[in-house]
A and B are shown apart, each in its own frame.
Chain A
Amino acid sequence: MADLTLITANKNYCLWPLPAWLCLKVAGLNFDEIVIPFSDPDACARFERHTPTGSVPALKHGDLTLWDSIAICEYVAELAPEADLWPDDRSVRAVARAIAADIHSFSGGHRAERPSIDVGTVMPTNIRQRTNAITVPDDIQTVFDRNTKFWRECRLKYASDGPYLFGRFSIADAMSAPFVNRFVTYNVPLGDIEADYRDTMRAHPYIKEYIALAEEEPWFHPYSDRPFI
């Protein structure tokens, strides 16, 4: 049994297990997983039993249970400083944290005022699905444009020594990964720089492993698997 336990929902349908899972992998840390699928009728009760606020992902380490993707990624960076999960330069690290925080604030669907524009409702996470390109509502397109603008700027300005947002893989990439997957599922058209970044991310060995695990999951969630036109 590992010291660390990651408590999450299932990989195929859940937006947020991926960043924490990726950071643990990249950091080379051993961990057990407790996966509570959304389709479990007791999912909420089980989330609440395992975590202080009922939020997943959560990370248990000895007596400590942390929650929230950003906080978990920060903790993994502290546990494994040699994995260099943040850029070395202080100013660049600050920009990377701003992008990670921005993704956390804007891209998760929280910003929606109406269900019609909630990203998670219109384009639910569904890693194994592929749709034709769908008409993206303007409000959602604004969120996508915000993401892709960061990707372009980072790739142009900070990434001279590697294929990721800040060159070397960082928490900013881990936080971007769920959106890369969403762009693939829904076949969202991207500019050249963003499309390259998407492809680089999808070729990352741990992202490939995660996708394979998601594709194999037995659970089925009718809402997320509804037909898209």
Chain B
Amino acid sequence: MADITFITANKNYSLWTLPVWLCLKVADLDFDEVTIPFSDPDARVRFDDLSPTGSVPALKHGDVTIWDSAAICEYIAELAPEAGLWPDDRSARAMARSVVADITSFSGAHWSAVEFVSVGAFMPTNVRQRTEPLDVPANIQKIFDRSTKIWRDCRTTYGVNGPFLFGRFSIADAMSAPLVNRFVTYNVPLDPIAAAYRDALRAHPDILEYVALAEAESWRHEPSERPFA
């Protein structure tokens, strides 16, 4: 049994499982996984049981249980400093943290600003699905444009020494990965820099492994499988 236990929902349908899982893999830490599929009728109760706020993902390490993707990724970076999960340069690291915080504010399902359709409702996470390009509502397109602008800025300013946002793989990439998968599922057209970045991330060996594991999952969540015209 590993020291670290990762508590999460199933990979195919959960937006936020991937960043933490990726950081654990890239940091080469041994961990057990407790997967609670959304389709489990007791999922809510089981989340509440295992995580202080009922939020997943959560990471248990000895007596402490940490939650929230960004906070867990920070913790992994501290557990495994040799993995270089943040850029070395202080300014680049600060920018990487801005990117991560922006993703947690804007790119999840949170930003459903009132009269709008939320991204998570319109394009539920479904790693193995492929649709034709959809007619994306303006408020969702705005969020996508925000993300791809950030990707372009990072690739151009900080990404010269490697294929990722800050060159070397960092937490900013881990947090971007769910969005990359969403772009693939829903066949979202991207500019050349964003498309090259999407392809670089999708070719990352740990992301390939995650996608394969998601595809092999047996659970089916009907609301995320709705037919797309």
Contacts and interface: CB of A to CB of B under 8 A. Distances in A.
Interface of A: 52-53, 55, 61-64, 66-71, 74-75, 78, 90-91, 93-95, 97-98, 100-102, 104-105, 108, 110-115, 118, 121, 146, 153
Contacts of B105: 68, 104-105, 108, 110
Query: Chain B contact residues (Cβ within 8 angstroms of A): what range?
Result: 35 or more
Contacts of B97: 66, 68, 70-71, 74-75
Nearest to A110: B110
A61 B93 CA distance: 14
19 contacts: A52-B150, A67-B101, A71-B100, A74-B94, A78-B93, A90-B78, A94-B64, A97-B70, A97-B71, A97-B74, A98-B67, A98-B71, A105-B68, A105-B108, A111-B110, A112-B112, A112-B114, A115-B115, A118-B114
Nearest to A98: B71
B98 interface: yes
Given A64-B91, A105-B104, 16 more contacts: A67-B98, A67-B101, A68-B97, A68-B98, A68-B102, A70-B70, A70-B101, A71-B98, A75-B97, A97-B66, A98-B68, A101-B104, A102-B67, A113-B118, A118-B114, A146-B53
B210 interface: no
A95 B94 contact: no
The secondary structure that dominates the A interface is helix
Nearest to A74: B97
Contact of B94 (A78, A93, A104, A114): A78
A153 B67 CA distance: 15
Nearest to B110: A110
A61 B71 CA distance: 25
A111 B109 CA distance: 8
A150 to B, nearest CB: 8
A93 B153 CA distance: 31
A209 B25 CA distance: 46
**Closest 5 pairs between A and B when the two form their complex, measured CB to CB:** A68-B101, A101-B68, A71-B97, A110-B110, A98-B71
B70 A52 contact: no
A70 B115 CA distance: 27
Q: Which of B71, B93, B102, B114 has the most CB of A within 10 A?
A: B71
Interface string B84-103: 00000011011101101110
Contacts of B118: 113
Interface of B: 52-53, 55, 61-64, 66-72, 74-75, 78, 90-91, 93-95, 97-98, 100-102, 104-105, 108, 110-112, 114-115, 118, 146, 149-150, 153
Contacts of B115: 115
B171 to A, nearest CB: 12
Nearest to A54: B146
B102 A95 contact: no
Contacts of B102: 53, 55, 67-68
Contact of A104 (B55, B78, B104): B104
A94 B74 contact: yes
B53 A91 contact: no
A183 B108 CA distance: 27
A91 B64 contact: yes
Nearest to A111: B110
B71 A101 contact: yes
A118 to B, nearest CB: 7
Q: Which of B63, B102, B111 has the most CB of A within 10 A?
A: B102
Contact of B110 (A69, A75, A93, A105): A105
Given A68-B105, A104-B105, A112-B114, A98 B94 contact: no
B79 to A, nearest CB: 8
A95 B66 contact: yes
B114 A66 contact: no
Given A66-B95, A112-B114, A78 B64 contact: no
A95 B64 CA distance: 8
A229 to B, nearest CB: 23
A67 B103 CA distance: 12
Contact of A114 (B68, B98, B108, B114): B114
Q: Which of B70, B101, B108, B115 has the most CB of A within 10 A?
A: B101
Contacts of A93: 78
B7 to A, nearest CB: 13
